[in-house]
Amino acid sequence: MIPFDLDAAEVRVLGCLAEKDLATPAYYPLSLHALLAACNQKSNREPVVKYEENDVLAALHSLEQKGWVLSVLERGGRVTKYQHRLVERLGLGRPEQAVLTVLMLRGPQTAGELRTRTERLYDFSDLDAVLTVLRRLAERKSAPLVRQLDRQPGMKENRWAHLLSGEPVQPASAAPPQPAQGRLSELESRLAALEQRLGEQGERLSRMEDALRRLEAPGGRADGDR
């Protein structure tokens, strides 16, 4: 089984290389400068990051040691460039690479979101085609690459997450709705507090009306007048 222990920076770097391989093959492999820009771009990234050059270099060095990235110097070139080895290491086809890449760059997503967001990388015919790829990635005997997460309250679809950083952290579920009796008790308490405030306001109004009547009466004077 291939150990999947990539940290967030390594996943971002590897995902960017895989994305540019599919989306802009004429400009692939990537130089360090181009890779830094890809990591820090604000579109199609969740979360948006602001890496420094040293952050990307450190991630590249680690990925090279783990066998996920190769550095190459093209004929006649002076700048070292970098390419991913996802396809060789994992035996991915283009549909699998597209789905895994978008999960790496944008975090857990539903199959519907994946179909929309992979359009630049691979044109899936329908939602079932995306689900077929997800199941294939999840059921790999050597090592699953994705996992379906528990459905969150208020969501119609389950989200999927990649496993290149180990087991995904399930977001904390929202607090379960209060039982009917609990809601009734809360409403009764709020009503009692409101009634108390109204009673206090009524007493103040009565005192003001009494004082006003004494002032209006012939020879009357308010309390405290001397």
Residue, of 225 and 138, whose pLDDT is higher: 138
Q: Is the pLDDT score of 176 beyond 60?
A: no
- Asked if 96 and 137 count as a contact pair (C-beta separation under 8 A), the reply is yes
* 8 A C-beta contact, residue 56 and residue 10: no
> Which residue has tokens 């007048």?
225
pLDDT above 90: percentage of residues in the chain: 66
Pair 158, 99 in one domain: yes
> Which range (68-77, 134-143, 202-211) has the least confidence?
202-211
Position with higher pLDDT, 153 vs 101: 101
Q: Are residues 126 and 198 in the same domain?
A: no
81 domain residue, yes or no: yes
What's the mean pLDDT when you consider all of the chain?
A: 87
Q: What is the mean pLDDT of residues 12-22?
A: 98
* Tally of CB atoms within 10 A around 97: 22
- Cα torsion 186, 188, 190, 192 to 10°: value is -150
The radius of gyration of the chain's CA atoms, rounded to the nearest angstrom, is 32
Q: Which of the four pLDDT bands, split at 50, 70 and 90, describes residue 7?
A: very high
Per-residue pLDDT, averaged over 134-161, amounts to: 93
Q: Which residue has the higher pLDDT, 220 or 129?
A: 129
Residue 172 one-letter amino acid: A
Most confident of 69-83, 174-188, 210-224: 69-83
Rounded-to-integer distance, Cα 66 and Cα 64, Å: 5
What is the pLDDT at residue 197? 64
Other beta carbons less than 10 A from residue 14's beta carbon: 26
Together in a domain, 12 and 38:
yes
Q: How confident is the model at residue 226 (pLDDT cuts 50, 70, 90)?
A: very low
Contact 115, 99 (CB under 8 A): no
Q: Is the same domain home to 56 and 132?
A: yes
Q: Is residue 173 part of a domain?
A: no
Query: Do 36 and 66 fall within a single domain?
Result: yes
Number of folded domains that form the chain: 2
10-19, 90-99, 137-146, 188-197: lowest mean pLDDT where? 188-197
Q: For position 152, which CATH number holds? A: 1.10.10.10
Q: Are 60 and 9 in contact (CB under 8 A)?
A: no
Same domain, 145 and 199: no
- Distance CA(206)–CA(164), nearest Å, equals 72
